[in-house]
Every structure is written in structure tokens, then in C-alpha cells.
């Protein structure tokens, strides 16, 4: 049973107001804080609009809509969250800003208040260092839009207590979220590491002029991905992608080396949908789809190989389980299959040999097989065909 009653949300932007909404819909009393009155007014308008959509789809009643709005109080004064049992910070991805906010919160809140950060890539441990009691800080990475996306990555900092972890899981469950637990505070957590490994393969292929944007996006959609990667990053914003790329590159080196292409586009102000142009031209509202494209199985084979390899690194580092990797990717990215499932279906030996061939061809660390892959292949744990890979199977 969840013992949390009152939730504070710091930041009324896209993620903040979405988190406030789902907290209100989950019968928590909510205090939404932002320094900007206009941002708060816009947040309440957006919440009202979203609730109306839920009502139109028959998911909530008109009476429920009113109750949710009444549960959400807004304020420009951070001191007004002092009675909150659980505070979720959802401000921009700026480490200093987050640490400053957490330091303020520690001085005004109750001694047992839990502090969760909605960061998608920054270190939970580093953020928690701003507090005298870092044990009560945890990562709670919601996916955009929080009202619709079921996944939450819950990330333990090095000093996060087990009690704080359990209470956070209870809060997420009450919010009707699916959770994957990230046991180690690693840059990119789980989903972003897999996602960016895949993006890098697409970007490098384009940069090397091996495949066109249309070929790559068309191939991905043909194989069940909900949207091609170039259309997707245009929607997210190339500047956002570059920000996470920088964090991953600093942490993992050449294995997460992004193509020079995207940095060049950002420097020219080609950020995607929000600026009108990115990989596609959005000035016509929707990019023109190619009527005919030819796809090359090499594209999908390479993307599968790098995401299976990154999943192996996550397992080798004991960050999380194969089950949570696959669940996270399917829920957080809407991909048809998780990388561990794919690896076992294709055969880990086939993936291993593909990676080695690419490494020999390009001498690129992105293709260097994870040592765990070599161990599995040497033991003949190659997936479904042999009864064991990332998972065990009945033969």
C-alpha cells in the first residue's frame, strides 16, 4: 500500500505538467511549482485539454476531470512544497540547476521527504551530492508524454536507500506505470543507451553515404518500427539528441561516438520540426513520403547487431535484467521487439560474427563485441536454437 499522499512537482513544462496530471489522476494531492506564472497558467490549460481528451475517449468522467483539476494546486513559491511527502523535479537537463533545487528542497522539506529527479541522462548520484542525506534521492525517468507513456525507469543512485526505492515503486504503481529498475546509476540508464546505439548506426550510415534517409527510415518502418529514426529525431529535436550524445560519449568513449553529421546540422540551426527543417522539410507540416524506396537488409542487420551488443553491455555491468531491457525498449520506444529477444531469435553467434566483420571493416569501437557475447558464444549459449542465450528455452 502506498503511504505517499502529497506530491510536489517542480517545473511546469511538458514533462512537469504531464507528471502533475497523472499524479492528480492517481488520487495524489499535487503542488505544481514554477517560477513563471504564465508557465503555470499554460500548464493548467494543457492539463484541462488533456483531461478532456481522456473524457472523450471514455477513460474518465466529467466529474473525475473536475476532481483532478481541484487536486492540483499551483504556486511560484518553492517553499509551498514543504509538506509534500514526495517531490519530483522536472526542470531542464542542467546539472547545476537540479543540484541547486535539491539543495533548496532539503532545507524546506520534511526530513523523510523523498526527492525524485526526472532526468533522462544525468547522474542521480551527482545530483544527490547536493544533499546532506543523499539516501533519499532517486531517479524517476518518465517518458514523453507522461500521460500516455506507460514506462518509468526508476534509477538507484549509489547511496539511494532500499526503503526509498520501494516507496518510489509504490508511487509508480499507484500511477499505473510499468517500471524497470536500473540497479546502477549509469549514464543513459537503459532505454537511452539502446536508443542512441541504434541512432548512431543510422547516422553513420548516412554520413558514409551508404544509405539514404528514405532507405533507412523506410526499412525501419517495414520491419515494424513505429517511425523512422530520422523522422523521430526531427520530432524530438536534434539539439536534444546532441545533448544526450555528449553525455554518452563522455561516459562510453568511441563506442558511443556520434556521427559528425548531426552536430553540423545543429550548428546550422537545423533542429527538426521546431525550426521547420532537419533531416526532413517540415515547413509543409508533414514531410513528403517517398513513393518508392529500396531497402537493404544490411541496414536492419547492423541496427540489430549494435542494439543487441549494447544490451549485452548492460547485462555484463549488472545494470538490469534482459527482461527489463526488452520491456523498457518496447514500452519506452514502442519497438516491436526488445534487443535480447532479437538476439536470441537471430542467434547470438550470428550477431557476434556480424559485429566482428563490421569491426574488421571499419576498425570502429562501436562494433567491438561485448566480452559477454564472446563468453555466451563460446559456451554455445546462442539463443533459441540451443536452448539458452539471454533467456532459457525449452527444446
Catalytically annotated residues: 120, 141, 153, 192
Q: Count of CB atoms within 10 A of residue 300's CB?
A: 16
Share in percent of the chain as helix, strand, coil (round to 5): 55, 10, 35
> Which residue(s) pair with 10 in the sheet?
33, 89
- Ramachandran assignment for 17, one of left (phi > 0), alpha (psi -120 to 50 degrees), beta (any other): alpha
Burial level of 261, CB count in 10 A (0-12/13-18/19+)? middle
Please give the full DSSP string across 111-138, using - where no structure is assigned.
TT-EEEE--SSS-HHHHHTTSS-GGGEE
Q: How far is Cα 342 from Cα 348, in angstroms, rounded to an integer?
A: 9
Q: How far is Cα 136 from Cα 124, in angstroms, rounded to an integer?
A: 11
Decide if 105 contacts 81 (C-beta within 8 A): yes
Decide if 71 contacts 64 (C-beta within 8 A): no
Q: How far is Cα 366 from Cα 258, in angstroms, rounded to an integer?
A: 10
Closest CA to 156 of 190, 185, 130: 185
- Residue 145, classed as helix, strand or coil, is coil
Q: Which three cell numbers stand for residue 388?
A: 539458452
Closest CA to 224 of 334, 388, 68, 377: 334
| Rounded (5°) CA angle 32-38-39 | 45
Alpha helices in 188-338 (DSSP H): 191-207, 213-222, 229-236, 238-252, 260-267, 297-316, 322-333
Provide the CB-side half-sphere exposure for 233 (13 A, CA).
29
Amino acid at each position: 500500500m502506498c503511504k505517499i499522499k502529497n506530491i510536489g512537482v517542480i517545473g511546469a513544462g511538458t514533462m512537469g505538467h504531464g507528471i502533475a496530471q497523472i499524479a492528480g489522476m492517481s488520487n495524489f494531492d499535487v503542488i505544481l511549482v514554477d517560477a513563471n506564472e504564465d508557465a503555470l497558467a499554460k500548464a493548467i490549460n494543457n492539463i484541462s485539454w488533456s483531461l478532456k481528451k481522456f473524457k472523450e475517449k471514455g477513460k474518465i468522467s466529467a466529474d473525475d476531470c473536475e476532481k483532478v483539476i481541484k487536486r492540483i494546486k499551483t504556486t511560484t513559491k518553492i517553499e509551498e512544497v514543504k509538506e509534500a511527502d514526495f517531490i519530483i523535479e522536472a526542470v531542464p537537463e542542467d546539472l547545476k540547476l537540479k543540484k541547486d533545487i535539491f539543495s533548496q528542497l532539503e532545507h524546506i522539506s520534511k526530513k523523510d521527504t523523498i526527492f525524485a529527479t526526472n532526468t533522462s541522462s544525468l547522474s542521480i548520484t551527482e545530483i544527490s551530492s547536493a544533499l546532506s542525506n543523499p539516501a533519499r534521492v532517486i531517479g524517476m525517468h518518465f517518458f514523453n508524454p507522461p500521460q500516455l507513456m506507460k514506462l518509468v525507469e526508476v534509477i538507484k543512485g549509489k547511496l539511494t536507500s532500499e526503503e526509498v526505492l520501494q516507496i518510489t515503486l509504490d508511487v509508480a504503481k499507484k500511477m499505473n506505470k510499468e517500471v524497470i529498475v536500473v540497479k546502477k546509476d549509469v549514464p543513459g540508464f537503459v532505454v537511452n543507451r539502446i536508443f542512441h546505439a541504434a541512432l548512431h548506426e543510422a547516422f553513420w550510415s548516412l554520413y558514409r553515404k551508404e544509405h539514404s534517409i528514405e532507405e533507412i527510415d523506410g526499412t525501419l518502418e517495414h520491419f515494424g518500427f513505429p517511425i523512422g529514426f530520422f523522422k523521430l529525431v526531427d520530432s524530438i529535436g536534434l539539439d536534444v539528441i546532441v545533448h544526450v550524445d555528449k553525455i554518452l560519449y563522455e561516459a562510453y568513449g568511441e563506442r558511443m561516438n556520434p556521427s559528425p553529421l548531426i552536430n553540423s546540422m545543429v550548428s546550422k540551426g537545423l533542429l527538426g520540426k521546431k525550426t521547420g527543417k532537419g533531416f526532413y522539410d517540415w515547413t509543409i507540416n508533414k514531410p513528403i513520403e517517398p513513393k518508392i524506396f529500396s531497402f537493404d537488409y544490411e541496414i536492419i542487420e547492423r541496427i540489430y547487431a549494435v542494439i543487441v551488443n549494447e544490451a549485452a553491455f548492460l547485462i555484463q555491468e549488472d545494470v538490469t535484467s534482459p527482461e527489463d531491457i526488452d520491456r523498457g525498449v518496447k514500452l519506452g520506444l514502442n519497438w516491436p521487439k526488445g534487443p535480447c529477444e532479437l538476439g536470441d531469435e537471430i542467434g547470438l553467434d550470428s550477431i557476434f560474427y556480424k559485429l566482428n566483420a563490421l569491426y574488421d571493416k571499419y576498425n570502429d569501437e562501436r562494433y567491438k563485441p561485448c566480452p559477454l557475447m564472446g563468453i555466451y558464444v563460446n559456451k554455445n549459449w546462442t539463443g533459441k536454437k540451443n536452448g539458452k542465450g539471454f533467456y532459457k528455452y525449452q527444446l
